[in-house]
Structure 1
């Protein structure tokens, strides 16, 4: 179960918190609310009177946290409302230790059996459903600690990774060893180990991501070009901005544009120049200065714009404007009187 926390949660310590007795669920839910960001927890099928559970967390390095959570007959939801209350931007890597669970996030549903694990993002609503006794081990780390693009993360969240196949067969034993370290209080303290865990999980995410990005390439390229046209006035428009808006890496965005024989920067520049040329030739805009027109499309340095314009179109902006407007409104022929 993903319990969104800060590394200094009160649940961090050598011993787990245990919850038994008639008010166990209320205390467990209250402990979660105090130790983690708000979550919406409810018992399933009137299970509150018989609820029993535990919570144990410990920090690994400066930003990563390990947690083991157990309970029974419970549904936990991360809703839009709870996200608004606190959004720490963590990603969770949850492994089912015992019992069975179901994780739902976005359009994906992951049925989890012991040894299976799934990735989920605390910035997006999700739901975890446990119909019986369960134990789950969770590695929580900041989104920025992962060395993967947002596109890879979006493709992986909410999907089951089988613990006995492929990359899961490599990761599951490693997570189980981390769980034993948590239980025994023997977690390594070196920052290098924290980085190694982040690298390993990043590799697992990247290996697990379905090849959706390549198939959606033409659609992404068209969307990126539309985004650029809508933001030409922003002088800070660049490759990173466009890639971030589309949840893909800057490198992948460059590859998409290379299919057209261009770079992202050259496309932005050509679109800006085309828009400026259009406005310079528009007779309705004769009252606007060249400085005003080029600034409208992100060129704040008029001299730089003039050089680019002449290099591209073979004449200065003022010469182009004069010829274009003359052709649009030619002078009337002179009359000859006899």
Structure 2
């Protein structure tokens, strides 16, 4: 893969941006409308063989042409998730109009074009074609087709990738590399759903996709005091035993995962000045801890101090207990 360019904190002029685009991805032609001011940046990192890049820039167009393909043809797929702004992706005589939350796949071995008519933010994942466990003939049917981030597997992939984009650049390389397979499995599940071939996915890929779906469900229901292992299993039409097996690889049982996610939300709320008027017990209740004494014990066990002391210290006493 190309060199990953880390220039997140300063804007680049057009010429430098052009070089960064090619260095970060594959050779591309970048152009802007005449008499247009331009600024942008690219920030990227690697998750094993999956490259993740954040692109923020003014209006412009990038093209993968026969000439740039001849210059370098490594055989990658790219998946772009629109986070802010609007994009039109063209490949294989198809056109995908992407709005925030939408994503699409495209193939660097054939010409394509991305047009941005205003300032935007996009997260781009690039990886060798052979790593995506979906038949190439199937992917050829999906290039430049909009996949909505508001329904089906797309509704899980979009927030998963967006959250990845928020966290991955600050994640230690030794940890980030373990996300490689998770990203590929989730994308494979989304594309297989589009092709209606989910039965052909490996058991591992199906488990990963289900794990992401369960995690999203838990995050959406943390405020419900009734959220427990039985509720999660029933919502996904699987047995409690099957659900527990899915979480075994992480070393944390489902109940422990729910508790940890709730405590993390409480920790954040205790530091939020907009919520300073809420009593500590009310903060716990916001995230499903209906028993104040139970919440107090759990918080102190997890963070080493009481919730009240943690709030008054502004988090300075934050010493998580492993």
TM-score over 0.5 (shorter chain): yes
Residues 207 and 116 from structure 1, CA distance in 2 versus in 1: closer, same or farther, beyond 3 angstroms? Answer: same
Please state how far the C-alpha of 1:209 moved relative to its aligned partner.
2.6
One of 24, 29, 39 as aligned partner of 1:52: 39
Q: Is the 8 A contact 1:60 1:188 kept in 2?
A: no
Q: Which has the larger radius of gyration?
A: 1
Partner of 2:8: 16
| CA distance in 1: counterparts of 2:87 and 2:177, whole angstroms | 32
| CA distance in 2: counterparts of 1:32 and 1:18, whole angstroms | 15
Partner of 1:70: 56
Where does 1:58-97 land on structure 2 (aligned, <5 Å)? Answer: 58-61=45-48, 63-97=49-83
Correspondence 1:101 to 2:87? yes
Where does 1:1-338 land on structure 2 (aligned, <5 Å)? Answer: 5-6=1-2, 9-11=3-5, 13=6, 16=8, 18-20=10-12, 24-47=13-36, 50-61=37-48, 63-185=49-171, 189=175, 191-209=177-195
**TM-score, with structure 2 as normaliser:** 0.57
Unaligned segments of structure 1, at least 5 residues: 212-338
Q: Is the 8 A contact 1:19 1:25 kept in 2?
A: no
Secondary structure at 2:153 match in 1 = helix
Q: Is the 8 A contact 1:53 1:71 kept in 2?
A: yes
- Provide Cα deviations, 1:244-276, integer angstroms capped at 9, x if missing partner: xxxxxxxxxxxxxxxxxxxxxxxxxxxxxxxxx
Residues 190 and 88 from structure 1, CA distance in 2 versus in 1: closer, same or farther, beyond 3 angstroms? Answer: same
Please state how far the C-alpha of 1:203 moved relative to its aligned partner.
1.3
RMSD (CA atoms): 2.0
| CA distance in 1: counterparts of 2:16 and 2:179, whole angstroms | 34
Unaligned segments of structure 2, at least 5 residues: 198-322
Partner of 1:280: none
Q: Is the 8 A contact 2:64 2:112 kept in 1?
A: yes
Please state how far the C-alpha of 1:191 moved relative to its aligned partner.
5.0
Secondary structure at 1:54 match in 2 = strand
| CA distance in 2: counterparts of 1:31 and 1:82, whole angstroms | 15
